[in-house]
Amino acid sequence: MLLKTKVLPLALALAFAGHAGAQEIIKIGHVAPVSGASSHLGKDNENAAKMAIEDLNAKGFKIDGKVVKFVLVPEDDAADPKQGTAVAQKLVDAKVNGVVGHLNSGTTIPASRIYFNAGIPQISPAATNPTYTQQKFNTAFRVVANDNKLGGTLGAYAVGKLQAKKIAVIDDRTAYGQGVAEQFVKGAKKASPGVQIVGKEFTNANATDFNAILTSIKSKNPDLIFFGGMDSVGGPMLRQMKALGIKAKFMGGDGLCTEPLGKLAGDAVGEDMVTCAEAGGVTGAQQKGMDDFRARYKQKYNMEVQLYAPYVYDAVMTMATAMADAKSSKPSVYLPFLAKVHYQGVTGPISFDANGDIKDGALTLFTYRDGKKTKMEVVK
């Protein structure tokens, strides 16, 4: 009997000690389209988020001197705004500590209100529409340059370096496609007021037949066609341009600027015929960090980085850095630290302006040679 009374308090003491020393679990939500036309990009993002979480846990990441455990909560928005808001609410209900996502501007913008209302920090690794950070939501950040920078730079490049005089514009009517196309036209006209926009045509994000709009454009004989949309539409569009004998140069934003475009377009991608831009850009000594990341990603997933993976990785790491700076994973506590964070990522230095846009966001211009995405230059 005496033995039992001694054992019981000891067992209780051990139970309480175990509870007191329990490791903190930090939940990071991640949203991207892992189904639908852009699923190859969504999976690319999700892979990078998993990789970042694993790296944080492997190095025993500490907050306020204690090793914490990060857990990824992945969701699929299928690039659909309604599904995007539904999964955003689901992540809020799951009490995640932060969200990395969404990929498309059309899902990121409506979801951002839900995160803002819940006080949960959100970093988009891919959404470029300016509206996202113009809503005055102090929870909204992005690690890529916005369409004002992206479209404007491409517009100036089209009329300057590529000497385009007659331009046709096609967009897919999404928040991203429409936004980047509008900014491209503004950038082109600002750089060369005499440039002619000879045609404006529209498609959608799931279209496969562009014969009617391309035939209309062909009759106007443009030097260059700008497409605001994703690679899954841009690739087949290039094939149909070739079939119709359209010789114009082809240009697009980051949604077009993927490794798979060469396969999606086949030989229609041509040599130095396509110009596109990706937000972010590293040169010199920083290039090694990006190259190392790409090599690790390929080794881990047996595939090349598709597009946004490095930005997803940096977004997760930036969020974790802000938590460490704040000595807390509580959203309301680390949010002000996220707003003033300085993190050296694989995509370059990351810090945010008052709106949550990345400061001094660089862009990298690419073309395609032998079917492969080829870097041309980094533009600040």
Residue-wise pLDDT tens digits, 250-277: 999 999 999 999 999 999 999 999 999 9
Domain range list for the chain: 25-145+284-359, 148-279
For 84, phi and psi rounded to 5 degrees? -60, -45
Give Cα separations from 329 to 72, 280, 319 (angstroms). Answer: 14, 27, 9
Mean pLDDT of the chain: 93
Average pLDDT over residues 108-129: 97
CATH superfamily of 148-279: Response regulator (3.40.50.2300)
Q: What does the pLDDT look like over 284-336, one tens digit per residue?
A: 888 899 999 999 999 999 999 999 999 999 999 999 999 999 999 999 999 99
**Which residue's entry shows tokens 């950040």?**
141
Count of residues in the chain: 380
pTM as predicted: 0.85
Q: From 281, 308, 276, select the one nearest 153 (Cα to Cα).
A: 276
Report the CATH number of the 25-145+284-359 domain: 3.40.50.2300
Q: What does the pLDDT look like over 7-37, one tens digit per residue?
A: 445 444 444 444 446 899 999 999 999 999 8
Average pLDDT over residues 181-203: 96
Highest mean pLDDT among 95-99, 152-156, 357-361: 95-99
Q: What percent of the chain has pLDDT over 90?
A: 86
285 or 187, which is more confident:
187
2 has a pLDDT exceeding 80: no
Contact criterion met (CB below 8 Å) for 104 and 33:
yes
As to burial, measured by CB atoms within 10 angstroms (0-12 exposed, 13-18 middle, 19+ buried), residue 158 is: buried
Which alpha helices (DSSP H) does 119-227 contain, by range?
Answer: 131-134, 147-160, 175-191, 211-218
State both tokens at 353: 């302006």
Q: From 280, 281, 237, 240, select the one nearest 256 (Cα to Cα).
A: 237
